Structure 1
């Protein structure tokens, strides 16, 4: 008959249970709740990422490569369906000016005036 002997552990054989361990004396709590840093307001602040109702309507994306002789490019987009692209310095400058003009006349960007009856 084989009998296995228990393997000795590295921990002490006679240790006190957790409930017998010495507890620190209770401390008197005064002031802010535990976990609140000193000088930090504890009031709830509004969410900085709250939706304020604004949406992007017109975009102008300009790419101007830093190397000499590389041609800049521009893309003008609007939620009304406008999507124009230009490459080269002269055409890019013309599209930038056209985009600025479009922003003044686009029905999605300018408030509608009610017709006087």
Structure 2
């Protein structure tokens, strides 16, 4: 009966001779520079398609009118100048809508005067 030697189960493992997957590959054009990014991946930041145009809400009117006629109607009016009002009930909400409209014509944040330019 012939006995073959068993492979060693313990001991140092052999190190691979090629580059490991953690090292960057050399550039394809042979320039010597390392290729750091995968092909097809954008390496620069693109502009935000929803860019900020600088506009901000200055005044807001929010009305809640449930479908049932017997349910109470509520509304709130808000402006960045500090104007803030609320109302409950149909007559009060109608008055608040009118007050919100009146405030839009008198608010210092919304009115722009070009009188000085026109006189010059």
Distance 1:48 1:114 in 2: 37
**In the aligned structure 2, how far is the partner of 1:89 from the partner of 1:68?**
10
Aligned residue for 1:112, secondary structure, equals: coil
C-alpha distance in structure 1 between counterparts of 2:62 and 2:108, whole Å: 21
In structure 2, what is the Cα distance between the partners aligned to 1:48 and 1:104? 34
- 1:1-117 mapped onto 2 (5 Å cutoff): 47-113=48-114, 115=116
Superposed displacement of residue 68, structure 1: 2.7
> What TM-score does the superposition give when structure 2 sets the normalisation length?
0.56
Could you tell me the TM-score, scaled by structure 1's length? Answer: 0.57
Supply the distance in 1 between the matched residues of 2:49 and 2:102 (Cα, whole angstroms). 33
In structure 1, the gaps of 5 or more residues are: 1-33, 36-44
1:110 Cα shift? 1.1
State how far apart, in whole Å, the 2-side matches of 1:89 and 1:107 are: 29
How far the C-alpha of 1:46 sits from its partner, in A, is 6.0
Unaligned runs of 5+ in 2: 1-38, 41-45
Q: Provide the secondary structure at the position in 2 that maps to 1:100.
A: helix
RMSD: 3.6
Shift of 1:113: 3.6
CA separation in 2, counterparts of 1:62 and 1:68?
Answer: 15
Secondary structure of 1:76's match? Answer: strand
